[in-house]
Structure formats: structure tokens, C-alpha cells
Amino acid sequence: MTVVTASGLTKRYGDVTALDDVSFTLTENVIYGLLGRNGAGKTTLMQLITGQNSATSGELRLFGEHPYENERALQQVVFVKESQKYPQAYKVWHVLSLASHLFPNWDKDFAESLVDDFKLPRKRDVRKLSRGMLSALGVTVGLAARAPLTFFDEPYLGLDAVARQLFYDRLLADYAEHPRTVVLSTHLIDEVADLIEHVLLLDGGKLVLDADTEELRGEVMDATGPAGAIDELVTGRDVLHRQQLGGTVRVTVRGAFDNAERLRAKKLGIDLEPVSLQQAVVRLTMERTAAR
Ligand SMILES: Nc1ncnc2c1ncn2[C@@H]1O[C@H](COP(=O)(O)OP(=O)(O)OP(=O)(O)O)[C@@H](O)[C@H]1O
């Protein structure tokens, strides 16, 4: 089932085009990574889908409906962001109690176990929580809400490495038991590379990549070898990056190599290896930056 459909989605703030003619679909029961450099348009996109803002042009459907001011569609969505504001004088338990009323699928036991895992002080005022505790509270709400569409917008700020791992582990375990659509916006790409199943990469408001993580592994490759051989192998290919050290050249290339090409590379003394997701994202976004 399709959860979100965006077609030609554009958002302008004055003369800033935050999203530029973006089209994609989100389907049910997939963990998406929404990636991109600072200012790429990730938060803007999430705000449009969660009805917090309206598009300048283009079509957007959330569970088949317009999201803007649509309570029925938005009941199925939870949006966790680092800068979440809570009412004055709220304590941790107030937030959990409010969330239990807001989200139809709220799992109280799961919420309680997360509060224990993250060592959240139930009776403390939210405004007195540390930055990491605030993030942990957001993550707890986002997970225990079990909304059919869950957004985490850089939810880890302030969380230490152990707490972040706890978040990834709990997310994956709960997702396995209660599949749903999750969109995780993050700059810590290596940390989530094994978690995300599909990548949406924004750059300068444009969607530059919409691919399954698995597919992507063979799609962006490093080729290292003698300069002449490399030039021969990559002629006509989409070269994202080139680095030369003496007579040895390393290029990052977009596009898979078939078996015959791999054999040829071997004969030419060239090493082919897939780059990490993080490297692929860096190379793909640097390419556009350089091309502008
Ligand atoms: N309310 C606003 N008014 C004017 N410009 C805005 C507004 N909100 C966002 N922008 C601009 O739109 C662009 C996209 O911003 P957005 O916050 O969506 O990026 P992002 O990918 O979430 O960035 P980051 O990774 O730094 O959080 C930026 O150039 C930003 O300055």
C-alpha cells in the first residue's frame, strides 16, 4: 500500500526554493533514510507531509488524502524532532500521558520499558531535562506511538553512542514485530546504514537519489589502478570523483559493472569495490555541488 505520494512538490520561502519539483512514493512497512546536506530540504519535506506547512505547488497525498489540516490522516502520523516544544511545567510522565491520548496505537508497556532503558526521570520537569534526555523522551514517544507513519528528524542530538545504539536496536526489534513506515532523517549515515532499506537523498531541494539501499551497494563503486587502465575502463561512465596519487588513480563511478566488465577490470589490474553508503552520499552530493 502507498502511504505517501508526492508529485512535482515544490516549496518556496520568498526567493529560497527549499523543495524543487520532488516526486516519490513511500510505501507501507519500509524504513526510509531521508538524507542530504544541511539545508537540503529534509525538514521542509517532513513538515509538508505532516501537514505543518503547505506546498507552493505540486501534489501531495497522505493515506490518499491532503495532509494539510487533515486530522484523520494526521492521526496516523508521529513526527519526532529535536526541537520539540512541550507545555510549560510538564513533567516526563505528563508527556507520556498526553501521548497515550493522542496516538491510537500507543503501547504503554513499551513506553515504560523505554523510559527504563533510557533512565528517564518520570517526575522531572521537561524543561530541566538534559539535551540527551530530551532526545530520549522524543524517541520514546516516537517508538511507543507505533504510528503507521513515523518520522524521526535527527532525533539523536545529545544522545551518547550507547543511547543511540539502544534507539536503533529498539526501533529494529519493534519494527520486526509491528511493521510500519519509518522515515529517519540523519547525518550519521554509517550508523544507520544497516537499518535503512531505502534511501531518499535530497540536494539543494532536488531529489537526487531514490533507491533501495541494497541496490545502491553495487551502484556506486571505487575503481583503483594504473592511470591509463582506469581511463580505459571508465570512458563514457558517470565519474563522481577522481583522485590521483603518483601513477595510481582512484575514481568513484556511478553505475553497476557487469561480469564482463569486472573481468576486464581484473585483467587491467584494477580493484573494484563498493563504497559505503556514507561515501556514496558524499560523492553524489559533491557531484551536484561541483556541477552547479
Ligand atoms: N521558514 C523558513 N523561511 C525561510 N527559509 C526557510 C524556512 N524554512 C526553511 N528554509 C530554508 O529552506 C531550505 C531547506 O531547509 P530545511 O530545514 O528543510 O533543510 P534540512 O535539509 O532539514 O537541513 P538540516 O540538515 O540543516 O536540518 C534552507 O535553505 C532553509 O534556510
Q: Hey, what amino acid is at 194?
A: D
The model's pLDDT over 213-239, given as tens digits with 9 standing for 90+, comes to 988 888 899 999 999 999 999 999 999
The pLDDT value given to residue 292: 46
Mean pLDDT of the region 243-248? 92
**Which grid coordinates are listed for 24?**
516519490
% of residues, the chain, pLDDT over 70: 98
CA distance 204 to 218: 25
| Helix-helix angle 131-144:92-102, to 10 degrees | 20
- Taking a C-beta distance cutoff of 8 angstroms, is the pair 221, 252 a contact? yes
CATH class, range 216-291:
alpha beta
Percent of the residues in the chain that have a pLDDT greater than 90, as a whole number: 86
Ligand 1 atom with the smallest distance to the CA of 41 is: 18
Determine which residue's CA is closest to atom 26 belonging to ligand 1.
Answer: 38
- The residue nearest atom 2 of ligand 1, judged by CA position, is 13
How many angstroms is it from 40 CA to the middle of ligand 1? 7
Phi, psi for 205 (deg, rounded to 5): 85, -5
Given a cut of 50, is residue 291 above it in pLDDT? no
Protein residue whose Cα sits closest to atom 24 of ligand 1: 38
State mean pLDDT over 123-130. 94
Ligand 1 interacting residues, C-beta cut-off 6 A = 13, 16, 18, 36, 38-44
Instruction: Tell me: pLDDT of 11 over 60.
Output: yes
| Ligand 1 midpoint to CA 59 (Å) | 20
CA of 264 to the centre of ligand 1 (A): 45
Could you tell me the pTM of the whole model?
A: 0.92
> Is 281 a residue whose pLDDT tops 70?
yes
Q: Hey, what's the cell of 226?
A: 594504473
Is the ipTM higher than 0.95? The answer is yes
pLDDT surpassing 50 at residue 26: yes
pLDDT of residue 287: 59
Instruction: Decide if pLDDT at 153 tops 90.
Output: yes
| pLDDT for position 290 | 52
2-204 carries CATH number 3.40.50.300: yes
Q: Are 224 and 271 in contact (CB under 8 A)?
A: yes
- pLDDT given for residue 70 in this prediction: 87
Report which ligand 1 atom has the smallest distance to the Cα of 36.
Answer: 21
pLDDT tens for 171-227 read 999 999 999 999 999 999 999 999 999 999 999 999 999 999 988 888 899 999 999
Boundaries of every domain in the chain: 2-204, 216-291
Which of 56-60, 168-172, 278-282 is predicted with the least confidence, judged by mean pLDDT?
278-282
